[in-house]
A and B are shown apart, each in its own frame.
Chain A
Amino acid sequence: MMSADLLSPHEPASSSSHGSMKGYVVGFVLSLAITLAAFGAVMSNVVPHHMRLAIIVGLCVIQLVVQLVYFLHMGTSRDQRENTAIFLCTGLLIAIVVAGSLWVMHNANVNMMAAPMSVQQAISHE
């Protein structure tokens, strides 16, 4: 009992990894607000064009974190540490795969394609 209290000082045992109604409501309201903000940023003219991409990507990342914490109960508590570590490892792999692909293919595009080609042009080239 003592050791359990010492290990997770600010987490009551009752709501350890199951979540609570309050948690789900908070997660839902936050997700709703973030989703509407992201669609609003693109569909209305409030946000200037050059800032839109940064804003929707930022909101996407925030909403991912919100849902991971409130719906998937990910955190640093003892019973969740394993899942969080596996997730962070996967996140690293994903970052390498996605960023690497985009980077390499962008460079290939810039350096090797003189002009964009339509299907008809490509066929007539053969």
Chain B
Amino acid sequence: MSTSVIGNTHIHAGQGDGTNTTVGFWIYLMSDCLIFAVLFATFGVLAANTAGGPGAKELFDLPFVLGETMLLLVSSFTFGAAMLNLHAGRKRSVVGWLGATFVLGASFIGMEVYEFTKLIHEGATPATSAFLSAYFTLVGTHGLHVACGLLWIAIMTHQIMRHGLDGVARRRLACLSLFWHFLDLVWICVFTFVYLRGFL
């Protein structure tokens, strides 16, 4: 009894109950939000400057983008399911749902890498026009974030399997959950303002 109390006070002194960590991580996400806002503004300014090169209509394939969107949307849902199982304390289900999220996110990254290599093979490189520079920077930054999220999911899966659903794992998964859902929010703006708007 006394050891658990001491253990608790130790955790409280060091880390709090996790609320401060979540708020701090939320502030980081908001700064990330500003990065994306600036990249979106840049893209908005430069979208028409194709310098005689190919534009959005010649380069992009909307059904392909819809596929990418579906992968990210479903992965947001599977991560939510992982969080529900975390609160219910079901370790095996958490690992399973995290695995599903990882596969969906990795498929998204696979599709994006395929799209980028295809564009570059067609001669639409970041150096072709201001429009393509802004496009690769914006969409590439989002892809880089998703790749970091995948790495984080893999590490957390390992940590849960090794140490179980302890307070540290819960706090970190709460932050990872915010991060993953946030990336889906950014993608909503990407498919609306980069892809769909290009076809108007």
Contact = CB atoms under 8 A, between A and B. Distances in A.
B83 interface: yes
B188 A64 contact: yes
Interface string A18-32: 111100100110011
Mostly, the A contact residues are: helix
B84 A20 contact: yes
Interface string A99-126: 0011001000000000000111000000
A53 B41 contact: no
B34 A49 contact: no
B188 A52 contact: no
Contacts of B70: 35
Interface in A54-83: 56-57, 59-60, 63-64, 67-68, 71-72, 79, 82-83
Contacts of A68: 185
Contacts, number: 116
Interface string B156-200: 000000000000000000000010011011001101110011011
Contacts of A89: 30
B66 A39 contact: yes
Contacts of A79: 19
Indicate the size class of the contact surface on chain B: 35 or more
A27 B81 CA distance: 12
B27 interface: yes
Interface of A: 18-21, 24, 27-28, 31-32, 35, 38-39, 42-43, 49, 52-53, 56-57, 59-60, 63-64, 67-68, 71-72, 79, 82-83, 86-87, 89-90, 93-94, 97-98, 101-102, 105, 118-120
Given A31-B76, A39-B66, A102-B41, 7 more contacts: A32-B73, A56-B192, A57-B192, A64-B185, A72-B181, A98-B41, A101-B41
